[in-house]
Chain A
Amino acid sequence: MFSKGFSFAKVIIYIVLLFWSVTVVMPMLWALMSSLKSDQEIFFSPWGLPAQLLWDNFSRAWVKAQLGQFMFNTFAVMLPSLFLTLLLSAMVAYVLARYSFRGKSVIFYLFLSGMMFPMFLALVPLYFVTDYLGLRNTYFGLSLVYVAFSLPFTIFFLVGFFKTLPKELSEAATIDGASHFQIFFDVMLPLAKPGLISAGIFNFLGQWNQFILPTVLMTNEGLPEGQSRYLLSQGLYFLQAKQGYESDLSGMFAAVVIVTIPALLIYIIFQDRIEAGLTVGAVKG
C-alpha cells in the first residue's frame, strides 16, 4: 500500500517510529551503562561512559542482594506449576472436547466463572486456605495456587485446540485396542504439542509476572536472618523499597540488567512463538 519514493507523510511516520524505538531502547542502554558504573558516576555524570567497568556490581547484586536466591525460588515454584498447569489443563480440555457425560456443562461453567472475577477478590480467603493446609510459605503451595488460577484460561484455549484434532486417529487407536488413557498420552498429547507450547509460553509470562500472589502467600516470617523465600518480582520490589535507606544504586541497575537479559535473549529467539502465544485466543478465527 505504501508508495515507493519520498513523501511528507512517510517522514512523519518514520519520525514517530524512531521516537518510539528510542523510548524503548534508550532506557535499556542507560540501565546497561549504569550497571557498570559507580554510584558517584551514576549521580554526577549520568551521560558519561563508566571510567572503568565495575563487574563487581553484578556479583554484589547476585550474591549480596540475593538475586541468585530469588531466581532459584522463582524456578522452584514455576517449574512444577508450569508442568502441572499444562498437564491438568490438557486433561480437562481433552475430556471436555472429546467426551459427552453428565455434568459436563457444570464443569464448563465452573471454569468459565473463574475467569470473570478479579484475583483481588480471592486474596484474603486464599491466604487463610493455604495457611490452614500448611501450604503458605512453601514452594509447592504457591505452585498449586498458580496452577489453580491458570487452569481456566489454559483449559479454554486447549479445548479449542483438541476440537480441531482429527477424530479418525483416536477411532483407529480404539479399534487397535488402546485404552482411553493410552489414546490420550500416546496419540492426542503428542498431537497437541503446538497448542501446549503456545499455552506454555502464555503461562510462563503470566506466572513470571505474578506479583500479588507471592506478596501475600510467600513471606520470610520464621526464616533465619539472611535467608529468603522471595520470588524475583517480590525480591526486586524489596530491594527497590530498601533503596530509601540502604542505597546501592549500581547494584540495583545490575539487578535490572541480570533479570532483563535472559528475557531479551529468549524473546529474540522465540519472537514469533511468543507473540502468537501471548495473543492466542484473543483474535477472531
Chain B
Amino acid sequence: MKQGKNTFILSFLVAPVLLYLVFVIVPYLGSMIFAFTRWKGLSANIRFNGINNFIKLWDDENFWNALSHNAIAVVLLPIVTISIALVFAFWFTQGVRGSRFFRIAFFFPQVMSVVIIAVLWSFIYNPQFGVLNGIIKLLGIKAWESFPWLGDSATIFWCILVVVVWQSIGFYMVLFIAGMMGIPTEYYEAAKLDGASLPVVFFQVTIPLLWETVRTGLVFIAIAAMDLYAMVMVITSGRIAATSRAADVLSTYIYETAFENGDFSYGIAMAVVMMFIILGLSFFTLTSTRKEVLEY
C-alpha cells in the first residue's frame, strides 16, 4: 500500500507540475535573467547588459508617462469603486425594494468580456453618433455636443477610468454583499435598539465587521489598476501614440516595446519594475489597512 501511495502521488503531480514549470515558472525566471541583457529583434544575439536597461528606464519619458497613468488609476480606482460598491452592497443587504433587479443589472458588466465593453464604450464616446454626445445635445449644451472624448488627450484617460469603474462595481458589490450576509443580525438589532441611523450603522457596524473583505477588495483592484491592458488597447483601437500617449499605461508600453519594436530585454526590464510595484502595492495595502480583526 505504501508503494502504491507514492506511485499515486507522483502520477497525479507529474503532468500539472511539468506544465506549470514549462509555461509559468521558466518564463518568469527567464525574464529575471533577460532583464539584465541586451536582446533586440529575433536574432539569437543576446549580451549581458548589467543594469543598463534600468538606467535607460529612468530617463525614459514614455515610461514615466505610462506609469503616471497607472498611478492615477491606483489611487482613484480603489477609492471610487470600493466606496460605491460598499454603499450599494449595504443598501441591498438592508432591504431596499427591487434589490434583486438592481443586483443583476449592476453585476452584468462583469460577465461581458472586457473587449466587448471597450468596443461598446468607444461607440458611446464617439463624437458623431455616440450616446454621450447625444445626451449632451438633448440637454442643449452646444459647446460640448461634438466633443471627441477619446480623441482629446485631456479627457481620454479619464473616460477610460469611468468605464473601468462602471465595469468593476458589480464584482466588488457582490463580494461585499457576500461578506455582509455573514455578519450576524444581532449586531444590527443591537444598533437598532440604540436608535442608530443608517449612516451610523454603515460606518460603525458594517465597515468594521467587513474590514477583512474590504482589504481583499483593495488589493484586487490595486493590482487590476496596474494592468488595464485590454481596456486601454481596445478603447483606443490601439492608436495610443496618436493621442500623444495620453492613455498609455505600463502594460501597453511594455507590449509596444517588446512585441512591436522587438526590444525584448527592455520590455522585460519594465515588466520586472511592474512586478516590484505590484508586490510593493499589495504589501503596502495590506500593512497600511491592518486593524485588529473583529471576530464574529
Residues of A within 8 A of B (CB): 1-2, 9, 13, 17, 20-21, 23-27, 30-31, 34, 42-43, 46-47, 88-89, 91-92, 94-95, 99, 101, 107, 110-111, 113-114, 116-118, 120-127, 129-130, 133, 144-145, 147-149, 151-152, 179-181, 184, 205, 208-209, 211-212, 215-216, 232-233, 236-237, 240-241, 243-244, 249, 252-253, 256, 259-260, 263-264, 266-268, 271, 274-276, 278-279, 282-285
Contact = CB atoms under 8 A, between A and B. Distances in A.
Interface string B259-281: 10000100110011011001100
B141 interface: no
A205 B182 contact: no
Contacts of A94: 12
A125 B274 contact: no
B94 interface: yes
A118 B227 contact: yes
Contacts of B30: 124-125, 129
B190 interface: no
Contact of B34 (A125, A211, A260): A125
A145 to B, nearest CB: 5
B97 to A, nearest CB: 8
B110 A92 contact: no
A211 B229 contact: yes
A139 to B, nearest CB: 15
Given A31-B123, A46-B131, A125-B26, A24 B174 contact: no
Given A110-B25, A144-B19, A233 B115 contact: yes
A24 B134 contact: no
Nearest to B185: A1
A118 B278 contact: yes
Contacts of A31: 120, 123
28 contacts: A1-B192, A46-B134, A88-B15, A91-B16, A101-B5, A107-B17, A120-B227, A121-B28, A122-B24, A124-B34, A125-B34, A129-B26, A145-B23, A148-B23, A152-B20, A179-B4, A209-B230, A211-B115, A215-B255, A244-B237, A252-B119, A259-B116, A260-B112, A283-B178, A283-B182, A284-B179, A284-B182, A285-B182
Given A101-B6, A118-B274, A236-B116, A107 B13 contact: yes
B108 A24 contact: yes
A147 to B, nearest CB: 6
Given A2-B198, A91-B12, 4 more contacts: A122-B31, A151-B19, A209-B114, A282-B217
A279 B226 contact: no
Nearest to B31: A121
Contact of A30 (B131, B213, B255): B131
B72 interface: no
A129 B27 contact: yes
Given A17-B91, A30-B131, A241-B237, A124 B267 contact: yes
B107 interface: yes
A282 B128 contact: no
Contacts of A149: 23-24
The 8 lowest CB-CB distance pairs between A and B, nearest first, are: A125-B30, A148-B23, A125-B27, A122-B27, A180-B8, A211-B230, A88-B16, A1-B94
A17 B97 CA distance: 11
Contacts of B57: none
Interface residues of B, number: 97
Interface of B: 4-6, 8-9, 12-13, 15-17, 19-20, 22-28, 30-31, 34, 88, 91, 94-96, 98, 101-102, 104-116, 118-124, 128-131, 134, 166, 169, 171, 174-175, 178-179, 182, 188, 192, 198, 201, 212-213, 216-217, 220, 223, 226-227, 229-230, 233-234, 237-239, 251, 254-255, 258-259, 264, 267-268, 271-272, 274-275, 278-279, 282
Given A31-B123, A151-B16, A243-B237, A180 B23 contact: no
Contacts of A122: 24, 27-28, 31
